[in-house]
C-alpha cells in the first residue's frame, strides 16, 4: 500500500520544482500575463500540497477550508493563464468564480455529523469544473490559432477534468480514515499519483505551447511582411513556384495607383494605413486558396491556382471594384484608393516563373497606360509594344486622383 502522506510530500516537492521553473520564466518575461497566472497556479499548488502534507502540525480547519480553497483556486488561475495566452477576454476575479462558492459549501458542510467526506468531494468537484473550463478555452482556441500541440493540450485538460470528476464520489463512498492525525486511504494514494502525472503533463503542455507560439512568431517574421501581414516577396515567389509546377494558374501583379500622392498628401502614416487596409480588403475578396503577397512598396502579387483567363478576370475585377469602393481612414482623414492589375495564365510551356511574372508585369504596364484602375490580361503583342515605346519601363504622368480628399 502507498503511504498517502509520503505521496503528498513528493507532490509538494514536484510542484515546488514546477513553481521555480515558472518563476524563472516570469523573471525573463515579466510583461506576459499568461506566465503570471501560471506562476500563481504553481505556487497555489505548492501551498495546497504543503497544507495537505502537514496534517500533524496544522489545525483541521486550515486543511479543510484554506487548503481546499487553494486547490480549487489554483485551477482557476490555470484557466486564466490559457485565456491570456490565447488573447481571450478575462478578469482576475474569474479565478475565484468557482472557489468562492465552494468555500461557502465547505464551511456549510460543518453542519454534517462527518463533514470530511463531503469537503473532499467538493474539492475534487471544484477542481474538475475549473479544469473543464480550461479545456473549453483550449477547444475554442483551436478554431482560431492552430498550434500543433493545441489539440493534444485540450485532450489532456479534458482527461484531467474528467479524472477529478470521477474521483470525487470516492470521497463519500470510501471515506478517508485518520490514524491519529494522519490520513489513510488506498484510493486517494493511487489517484493522487494519477492526478500528479496529469498535472505535470498539463504544465509540460504549457511549455510546449509557449515554444510553438515563439516558433510561429519567428516563422511569421521570416515569411510575412511586417507592416501588412501579407506574405513577403520571398514567401510569395516560393509559393508561386510551387503552384506553377502543380498545374495551370493565373499570376497577377497589382500596383496601387498614385501612391506617391497618398504619401505626399497624408504622410507616410497615411500610406501605411492605406497598405494595411488594402491588404485586409484583398483578403476578404480573394479565394481561400489564393496566394497573396507584397512584392515591395505598393506592389503586390496574386496567384490563383486552377484559374483560367476568364475565371481570373472575374476574381481580379471583383477585387478592383472592392478597392475602388473602399474608403481609407487615417488620423481623421478619409480618402479613396484604386489599383491597376496585369495578369497572365500559365500553360504547359516550360518557362521560368520569372518569365510568367514578366508577362504579368507587362499587363500591369498596359493597365497603367490605359488610365489606371483597370485589369489587363497579358497578350504576346504587348512585348513588341513595350520595346517600341519611347520611354520603355516608365509610366506616363496621369492626372491627380480626384478621390484624394482630406
Percent of the chain with pLDDT over 90: 56
Please, which pLDDT band fits residue 406 given cuts at 50, 70 and 90? very low
Least confident residue range of 182-191, 219-228, 267-276, 279-288: 182-191
Same domain, 259 and 218: no
| Average pLDDT of the residues in 277-281 | 96
- Element counts in the chain: helices (H) and strands (E): 14, 9
Active site amino acids: 298
In a domain, 179, yes or no: yes
pLDDT value of residue 382: 78
pLDDT value of residue 91: 93
Maximum mean pLDDT: which of 11-25, 30-44, 278-292, 380-394: 278-292
pLDDT value of residue 47: 82
In a domain, 402, yes or no: no
| Average pLDDT of the residues in 287-313 | 94
Between 181 and 400, where is the model more confident? 181
Please, which pLDDT band fits residue 53 given cuts at 50, 70 and 90? low
CATH number at residue 282: 3.30.70.270
Please, which pLDDT band fits residue 397 given cuts at 50, 70 and 90? very low
| Alpha helices (H) in 91-232, listed in sequence order | 99-108, 115-141, 150-167, 170-173, 186-223
Same domain, 191 and 275: no
In a domain, 228, yes or no: no
Task: Please state, in angstroms and rounded to a whole number, the distance separating the CA atoms of residues 239 and 383.
Answer: 26
Residue 108 has pLDDT above 60, yes or no: yes
171 with 127: CB under 8 angstroms? no
240 with 303: CB under 8 angstroms? yes
Between 340 and 44, where is the model more confident? 340
Same domain, 183 and 259: no
pLDDT value of residue 396: 37
| Average pLDDT of the residues in 362-388 | 84
Same domain, 55 and 166: yes
In a domain, 268, yes or no: yes
Task: Please state, in angstroms and rounded to a whole number, the distance separating the CA atoms of residues 75 and 41.
Answer: 7
Task: Please state, in angstroms and rounded to a whole number, the distance separating the CA atoms of residues 134 and 201.
Answer: 14
For the segment 62-74, what is each residue's pLDDT rounded down to a tens digit? 566 677 788 899 9
Average predicted confidence (pLDDT) for the chain: 86
Same domain, 34 and 53: yes
Same domain, 128 and 212: yes
Residue 317 has pLDDT above 80, yes or no: yes
Grid cell, residue 223, equals 515569411
Same domain, 208 and 282: no
Residue 257: which domain range? 233-388
Same domain, 237 and 278: yes
For the segment 218-236, what is each residue's pLDDT rounded down to a tens digit? 887 888 998 999 999 999 9
In a domain, 406, yes or no: no
What are the angstrom distances between the C-alpha of 204 and each of 8, 14, 18, 149, 249? 20, 13, 10, 11, 44
Same domain, 211 and 251: no
Nearest of 48, 219, 36, 209 to residue 126 by alpha carbon? 48
297 with 233: CB under 8 angstroms? no
Same domain, 173 and 304: no
Same domain, 144 and 68: yes
Grid cell, residue 58, equals 496544522
| Average pLDDT of the residues in 93-107 | 90
Grid cell, residue 188, equals 486517494
Domain count, the chain: 2
| Average pLDDT of the residues in 341-354 | 86
SS3 43: helix
Amino acid at each position: 500500500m502507498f503511504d498517502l502522506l509520503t505521496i503528498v510530500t513528493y507532490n509538494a516537492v514536484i510542484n515546488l520544482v514546477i513553481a521555480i521553473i515558472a518563476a524563472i520564466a516570469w523573471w525573463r518575461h515579466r510583461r506576459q500575463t499568461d506566465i503570471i497566472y501560471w506562476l500563481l497556479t504553481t505556487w497555489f499548488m505548492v501551498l495546497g500540497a504543503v497544507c495537505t502534507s502537514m496534517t500533524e502540525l496544522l489545525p483541521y480547519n486550515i486543511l479543510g477550508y484554506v487548503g481546499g480553497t487553494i486547490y480549487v483556486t489554483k485551477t482557476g488561475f490555470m484557466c486564466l493563464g490559457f485565456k491570456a495566452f490565447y488573447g481571450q477576454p478575462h478578469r482576475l476575479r474569474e479565478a475565484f468564480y468557482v472557489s468562492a462558492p465552494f468555500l461557502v459549501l465547505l464551511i456549510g458542510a460543518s453542519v454534517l455529523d462527518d463533514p470530511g467526506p463531503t469537503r473532499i468531494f467538493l474539492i475534487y468537484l471544484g477542481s474538475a469544473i475549473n479544469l473543464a473550463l480550461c479545456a473549453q478555452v483550449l477547444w475554442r482556441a483551436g478554431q482560431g490559432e492552430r498550434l500543433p500541440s493545441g489539440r493534444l493540450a485540450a485532450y489532456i485538460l479534458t482527461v484531467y477534468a474528467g479524472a477529478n470528476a470521477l474521483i470525487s464520489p470516492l470521497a463519500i463512498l470510501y471515506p478517508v480514515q485518520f490514524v491519529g492525525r494522519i490520513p489513510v486511504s488506498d484510493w486517494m494514494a493511487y489517484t493522487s499519483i494519477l492526478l500528479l502525472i496529469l498535472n505535470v503533463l498539463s504544465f509540460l503542455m504549457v511549455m510546449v505551447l509557449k515554444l510553438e507560439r515563439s516558433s510561429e512568431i519567428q516563422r511569421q517574421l521570416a515569411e510575412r511582411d511586417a507592416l501588412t501581414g501579407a506574405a513577403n516577396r520571398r514567401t510569395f515567389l516560393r509559393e508561386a513556384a510551387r503552384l506553377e509546377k502543380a498545374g495551370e494558374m493565373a499570376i497577377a501583379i497589382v500596383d496601387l495607383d498614385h501612391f506617391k500622392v497618398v504619401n505626399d498628401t497624408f504622410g507616410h502614416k497615411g500610406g501605411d494605413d492605406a497598405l494595411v487596409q488594402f491588404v485586409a480588403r484583398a483578403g476578404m475578396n480573394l479565394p481561400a486558396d489564393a496566394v497573396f503577397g507584397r512584392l515591395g512598396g505598393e506592389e503586390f502579387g496574386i496567384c490563383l491556382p486552377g484559374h483560367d483567363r476568364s475565371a481570373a478576370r472575374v476574381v481580379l475585377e471583383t477585387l478592383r471594384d472592392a478597392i475602388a469602393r473602399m474608403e481609407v481612414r487615417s488620423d481623421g482623414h478619409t480618402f479613396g484608393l484604386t489599383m491597376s492589375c496585369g495578369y497572365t495564365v500559365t500553360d504547359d510551356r516550360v518557362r521560368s516563373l520569372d518569365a510568367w511574372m514578366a508577362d504579368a508585369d507587362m499587363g500591369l504596364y498596359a493597365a497603367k497606360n490605359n488610365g489606371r484602375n483597370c485589369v489587363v490580361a497579358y497578350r504576346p503583342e504587348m512585348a513588341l509594344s513595350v520595346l517600341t515605346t519611347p520611354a520603355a519601363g516608365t509610366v506616363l504622368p496621369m492626372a491627380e486622383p480626384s478621390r484624394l480628399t482630406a
